[in-house]
Amino acid sequence: MGAVSVDDFYQGTKAAIAGGTTMIIDFVLPSKGESLLDAYHKWRTRATNKVCCDYGLHVGIPSWSDEVRREMEDLCKSHGINSFKMFMAYKGVFMLNDSDLYNTFEACKELGAIPMVHAENGDIIFENTKRLLKSGINGPDGHGLSRPEEVEAEAVNRACTLSNQVGSPLYIVHIMSKQAAEVLAKYRTKQIKQNGSAKIFGETLAASVGTHWDDKKLTSWTDAAAHVLSPPLRSDPNTPSFLLNMLASDNLQTTGSDNATFNSNQKCMGKDDFSKIPNGVNGIEDRMSVIWEKGVEAGIIDPCRFVAITSTNAAKIFNIYPKKGCIDVGSDADIVIWNPKGKHTISAKTHHQAVDYNIFEGMECHGVPEYVLVGGRVCLDEGNLKVVQGYGKFIPMPTHSEFVYNNEKVSEVQEEYENNDHDNEIDIKTSKLQISPPSSIISDVSTCTKSSMIHTGKGMRMEGQRDLQSSSFSISSEFNDPVKKSSIRVKNPPGGQSMGFW
């Protein structure tokens, strides 16, 4: 939208570590017509020498052509990319039509990659925006009015239909509404009934579980504009707890930050027209604490599910588990020692992000990171930040994620990738064998009772207990064999045993 977010790779990853996140996956966003590879290299250059923690990349697809298909293949084979984001909104800029979406999903399937979608109906938003502006509604509240829940739910439904037709997996980013989450849950349930597992996944955000659009509080233009992101924060105050319950029940799998921060003066680009307010809010620093506070502290999510939805599930989906998302021999020493009794009040005055506003301002959180280790290095030491610029590495993410593609055989594309000379810092063979992102662990793991876990076919289950960590994901520790099915007993699940936990 013509604005550059204020958090660069240094500020962003420093803030991530401060909040207890040890790896990020950023979005490469090529402009329409720009080469995907050029944009990818631009992002790598921006990140190198700046990143304080490891990072991976997804690549946006703003248009469809044979050349785009060729570049997608090159990115998968030689550049450590296994996921592409398509937009169903932002008409005229990033939006793809259904044929283009179909083709991109198909290309992803052929390459063993994961199609990700921003699900909102861009045509409806475009028309609603015109109508609202014409009727004199030009303030930030117009943003939400132009894209109601059903506009998001319709797009989720369409994206799921398209992926079913193509037979591809699908990852829906930033699900923000009850209706949209319900549609996704319906498709997942159907797939699980039919095939024993689902290959459609849903992410929600720290923003959507941490706050909502409260007209009574967002009375000034600055406050309201600072809360503008897409899909929008919903005015239904039950949305956060609803989405948290969806995370608890594995109807949603991950929590992202979608960190896209713009200062108040940048938000002013939309002073006379809400559709010009740069979209995006903070989240990278506060994600873990907000989810702990609203999820675990509130009694909706247990600590092991917290690890799964903030870390392990993302690692599995994006095929870097158990290199990341797991604490075990051979995994990266990305470890968070979490103090559930620690307290912290969120404020823009004290946060480490570059942005001058925090949408969680004043929220008192009970869980805080005490130590954060990145690759074995202590980067947060009893709450004191000790980061090093450029310390982080690019983490290539191999195609054909076992947890997405259900153990499909390693394809030619991946074999070719492994045999290729490419510009990744770490050996992809190591990456594949040790497969995975951010590891998180709670300081009280020692209180867990040792117990075997049984793979029921629908996810690990503690004997006599409901599933505490991974639900439909298996959590086998046998990561040395990437094509091995994990229908075995496991004694040491990632995130620690959790029996008798709280």
Ligand X SMILES: NC(=O)NCCC(=O)O
Q: Which residues bind Zn ion (CB under 5 A)?
A: 118
What residues have CB less than 8 Å from 42, skipping those under 6 apart?
28
By beta-carbon proximity to ligand X, the closer residue of 260 and 441 is 260
Q: How far is CA 281 from the centre of its chain?
A: 14
The interface with ligand X within residues 472-501 (CB under 6 A) comprises: none
What residue 82 binds from Zn ion, ligand X, none (CB within 5 to 8 A, per partner kind)?
none
Q: How far is the CB of 270 from ligand X (least distance, A)?
A: 13
Residue nearest to Zn ion (CB): 118
Which positions ≥6 away from 231 have C-beta within 8 Å?
Answer: 119, 120, 147, 152, 174, 175, 176, 177, 180
373 touching ligand X, by CB under 6 A: no
- Among ligand X, Zn ion, none, the one that 400 touches (CB under a kind-dependent 5 to 8 A) is none
Nearer to ligand X, 118 or 305 (CB): 118
Is residue 281 within 8 A of residue 232, CB to CB? The reply is no
Q: Which does 302 bind (CB under 5 to 8 A by kind): Zn ion, ligand X, none?
A: none
Residue 279 interacting partner from Zn ion, ligand X, none (CB closer than 5 to 8 Å by kind)? ligand X
Choosing among ligand X, Zn ion, none, which partner's interface includes residue 257 (Cβ < 5 to 8 Å by kind)? none
Question: Per rule CB under 6 A, is residue 312 in the interface with ligand X?
Answer: no
> Cα–Cα distances in Å, from 89 out to 4, 146, 317?
19, 12, 24
Phi/psi for 425 (5° steps) reads -75, -25
Report the distance separating Cα 242 and Cα 240, nearest Å: 5
260 makes contact, choosing from Zn ion, ligand X, none, with CB < 5 to 8 Å by partner type, with: ligand X
147's contact among ligand X, Zn ion, none, with CB below 5 to 8 A by partner kind, is: none
Q: Quick one: which of 344, 313, 337, 324 has its CA closest to 475?
A: 313
Residue nearer to ligand X on the CB measure, 106 or 258:
258
Q: Which is nearer to ligand X, 151 or 460 (CB)?
A: 151
- Would you count residue 230 as binding ligand X (CB under 6 A)? yes
Residues 6+ apart with CB under 8 A from 380: 17, 18, 20, 369, 370, 371, 372, 386
CB of 173: closest distance to Zn ion in angstroms?
A: 6
Size of interface with ligand X, in residues (CB under 6 A): 8
- Residue 229 interacting entry, from ligand X, Zn ion, none, C-beta within 5 to 8 Å by type: ligand X
Binding ligand X (rule: CB under 6 A), the pick from 111, 229, 379, 475 is 229
Q: According to CB under 6 A, which one of 260, 336, 410, 490 is a site residue for ligand X?
A: 260
Q: Does 258 bind ligand X (CB under 6 A)?
A: yes
| Axis-axis angle for helices 66-78, 36-47 (nearest 10) | 40
Question: First and final CA of the chain: distance in angstroms?
Answer: 45
Residue 224 found at the interface with ligand X (CB under 6 A):
no
Q: What is the DSSP string of 124-190?
A: HHHHHHHHHHHTT--STHHHHHHS-HHHHHHHHHHHHHHHHHHT--EEE----SHHHHHHHHHHHHH
Angle, CA of 38, 41 and 47, to the nearest 5°: 145
Residue 156 binding target from ligand X, Zn ion, none, CB below 5 to 8 Å by type: none
Calpha distance 40→142 (Å, rounded): 34
Of the candidate residues 79, 118, 267, 287, the single one contacting ligand X (CB under 6 A): 118
* Cβ proximity to Zn ion, 209 vs 336, nearer residue: 209
Least distance between ligand X and beta carbon 462 (Å): 36
How far apart are the C-alpha atoms of 103 and 135, rounded to whole Å? 38
Q: Which of 22, 251, 275, 279 binds ligand X (CB under 6 A)?
A: 279
For the CB of residue 84, give the shortest distance to Zn ion in the complex, in Å.
13
CB 252 within 8 A of CB 204: yes
> Which residues inside 163-202 make contact with ligand X, applying CB under 6 A?
174
Over the range 410-438, which residues count as b (16 or more CB within 10 Å of their CB) and which as e?
beebbeebbeeeeebebebeebbebbbbb
Sites of contact with ligand X (CB under 6 A): 118, 174, 229-230, 258, 260, 279-280
